[in-house]
Amino acid sequence: MKLLCVFSLALILIDSVRCYKILGLFPHPGKSHFNIIHPLMIELSRRGHEVVVVSQFPLKKPLPRYTDLSLEGTVPPLLEILPLNNRNPVMARIFHNYLDVLHYGRVADAYCETAFATDVIKTLWKSNQTFDIVFHEPFLSDCLLALNEKFKAPIVAITTSVMLAWNNDRFGNPDHPSYIPTLWMDFSDKMTFLERMENLLVIYGHKLWYKMKQMKHDRIVERYLGEDHPPLSNQGNNMSLMLVCSHFSLSLARPFAPNVIEVGGLHITSSKPLPKNIEKFINESKHGVIYFSLGSMIKGHTFPQEKKDAFLKAFARLPQRVLWKWENETMPGKPDNVMIQKWMPQFDILSHPNVKAFISHGGLLGTTEAVHCGVPMMVMPQYGDQYTNAKAVEANGGGVILYLKDATEEKVYNNLKTILDPEFRAKAKALSERFRDRPMSPMDTAIYWVEYVARHKGAPHMKTAAVDMPLYQYLLLDVLAFLGLILLVFSYISYKILSLVLRSVFSKKKVKQN
Question: 189: which residues sit within 8 A by CB, 6+ positions away?
Answer: 179, 180, 181, 252, 253, 254, 395
Looking at residue 79, its pLDDT comes to 45
Looking at residue 157, its pLDDT comes to 96
Whether 132 contacts 20, CB under 8 Å? yes
Q: Which of 142, 209, 199 is nearest to 175 (CA)?
A: 199
- How confident is the prediction along the chain (514 residues), in pLDDT tens digits per residue? 444 444 433 433 444 458 999 999 999 988 888 999 999 999 999 999 999 999 999 999 999 999 999 999 887 665 443 444 545 556 666 666 677 777 778 888 888 989 999 999 999 999 989 999 999 999 888 999 999 999 999 999 999 888 888 999 899 888 889 998 888 777 888 889 999 999 999 898 889 999 999 999 999 999 999 888 899 988 888 899 999 999 999 988 889 999 999 999 999 988 899 999 999 999 999 999 999 998 776 776 677 888 888 999 999 999 999 999 988 878 888 899 999 998 899 999 999 999 999 999 988 899 999 999 999 999 998 877 888 899 899 999 999 999 888 889 999 999 999 999 999 999 999 999 999 999 999 999 999 999 999 999 999 999 988 888 888 898 899 999 999 999 999 999 999 898 888 888 777 666 666 5
Q: Which of 225, 204, 207, 208 is nearest to 121 (CA)?
A: 225
Looking at residue 404, its pLDDT comes to 85
Type of residue at 143: C
Alpha carbon 18 to chain centroid distance?
A: 30
Whether 37 contacts 26, CB under 8 Å? yes
Looking at residue 38, its pLDDT comes to 94
Query: What is the residue-wise DSSP string for 30-55?
Result: -HHHHHHHHHHHHHHHHTT-EEEEEE
How far apart are the C-alpha atoms of 140 and 147, rounded to whole Å? 17
Looking at residue 15, its pLDDT comes to 43
Looking at residue 83, its pLDDT comes to 46
Whether 100 contacts 183, CB under 8 Å? no
Looking at residue 146, its pLDDT comes to 93
pTM over 0.75: yes
Looking at residue 89, its pLDDT comes to 58
Looking at residue 93, its pLDDT comes to 65
3-state per-residue secondary structure call for 342-371: CCCCHHHHHCCCCEEEEEECCCHHHHHHHH
Whether 251 contacts 435, CB under 8 Å? no
Helix (H, G, I), strand (E, B) or coil at 339: strand
Type of residue at 168: N
Instruction: Show contacts of 425-431: CB within 8 Å, 24+ apart.
Output: 425/356, 425/374, 425/376, 427/376, 427/397, 427/398, 428/371, 428/374, 428/375, 428/376, 428/377, 428/397, 428/398, 428/399, 429/374, 430/397, 431/249, 431/250, 431/371, 431/374, 431/396, 431/397, 431/398
Helix (H, G, I), strand (E, B) or coil at 318: coil
Type of residue at 413: Y
Kind and range of the H or E run holding 487: helix 477-513
Instruction: Show contacts of 404-408: CB within 8 Å, 24+ apart.
Output: 404/84, 404/85, 404/86, 404/307, 404/380, 405/86, 405/87, 405/89, 405/92, 407/307, 407/310, 407/311, 407/380, 408/310
Looking at residue 95, its pLDDT comes to 67
Looking at residue 91, its pLDDT comes to 65
Residue 66: beta bridge partners? 51, 63
Looking at residue 77, its pLDDT comes to 62
Query: 163 phi and psi, to 5 degrees?
Result: -60, 130
Looking at residue 82, its pLDDT comes to 44
CA distances for 88 relative to 95, 183, 424, 483, angstroms: 11, 21, 31, 49
How far apart are the C-alpha atoms of 35 and 245, rounded to whole Å? 12
Looking at residue 11, its pLDDT comes to 38
Residue 341: beta bridge partners? 325
Whether 57 contacts 73, CB under 8 Å? no
